[in-house]
Structures are given as structure tokens and as C-alpha cells.
Amino acid sequence: MTAMTPISPERAAILMREGAVLVDIRERDEHARERIADARLHAASILDRDHPARPGDEVLIFHCKSGNRTTQNATRIAAGIPADIDTYILEGGIDAWKKAGLPVTVDRSAPIPIMRQVQIVAGSLVVIGAVLGATVASGFYLLSAFVGAGLVFAGATGFCGMARILDMMPWNRRSTSPAS
């Protein structure tokens, strides 16, 4: 198995100028909204079906938003990489890249990431249920309980029905898969 070495954003930028490939393991909606130019999208959700290495790759640098997702998936990533390819993890992810003053591409017309949409909708429904429960009828507290139960289920199983529904909404249906 290939070892994955942590690397600073500055060193990653140098290696990219020398031909290294940056691989973004965030989901397509996150990548569409904000990305490091020329980063190849290879979402963590497909690592078990498809390996990120491509013919001609010599150096791969993997990143996510903060570095946590990449570190957590390092074993899965490395399992698909031939031993002759040098692999790195971008320390701090795209957040550290931006903090280092390195450029990112932002598309504000792209929908916000699905999980942020879930947080907005779930939080709103909990507040609405609590306010209506306190002011109209106590039965509205069930709305908050239902949303809370859905969040617990999503956390326990990895399946979020609300995310699936939001993903089908018209504002999320536009192509969010830039050429990678």
C-alpha cells in the first residue's frame, strides 16, 4: 500500500507547477461551488467503485475542505494507488490553501453544498416546530422530534433522506460536475 505524506499548501503548489495532480475528494456540489483550479474531482463516495489514479500520474496530492476527510479516507485512497506513484495529503485542505493566499475558483451561481442545505432546512423545521409547539399547539413539537430522529438516523446509517430530496430540487439539478 502506498504511504500518504502530509504536505503544506505551499509545497503542494510547487509540486503542481512541476506536474503533480491535485485530487479533490469532496462531493461534486462542494467542488462546483469552490475549488482549486485544475483539481481533479474524485469524490470519497466513489473510492470503493473507482480508483483515483490515472495513466500517466506520477504524483498525486489529495485534498478535502479541512484535511479531516482526506486523513480519514487515507487507507481507502492508498488502496487504489500503484506503489510507484508518490502520494500526499494537503494539510488543512482547501481551507489551508486559501489561508496561505493561494488562489481558488469560486462559482457563486452554483448551489450551496447539499449538507449545508440540509442544515438550513433541518434547523428551520426544528425552530418552526418549537415555536408553533409553544404558541399554537403542542402537537407541533412532533415536527422537531421527527427532524431530530431523521438526523440521528442519518448519522447512524449514512443515509440522509432529506439530502436525497434536496438533491432532486430544481436548483440542484443543473450540471455541477465541471470538467475534471
pLDDT at 177: 43
Annotated catalytic, 64? yes
| Confidence band of 31 (pLDDT split at 50, 70, 90) | very high
Indicate which residue of 64, 81, 114, 162 is catalytic: 64
- What are residue 4's DSSP bridge partners? 87
Instruction: State mean pLDDT over 12-25.
Output: 96
Helix (H, G, I), strand (E, B) or coil at 159: coil
Cβ contacts of 20 within 8 Å, gap of 6 or more: 12, 58, 59, 60, 61, 88
pLDDT at 2: 66
pLDDT at 62: 97
Instruction: State mean pLDDT over 30-49.
Output: 90
pLDDT at 180: 40
Instruction: Determine how many CB atoms are found less than 10 A away from the CB of residue 170.
Output: 7
| Confidence band of 17 (pLDDT split at 50, 70, 90) | very high
Instruction: State mean pLDDT over 33-47.
Output: 91
pLDDT at 174: 61
pLDDT at 179: 41
pLDDT at 178: 44
Helix axes 141-157, 114-135, angle to 10 degrees: 150
pLDDT at 173: 75
Residue 47 contacts residue 55 (beta carbons within 8 Å): no
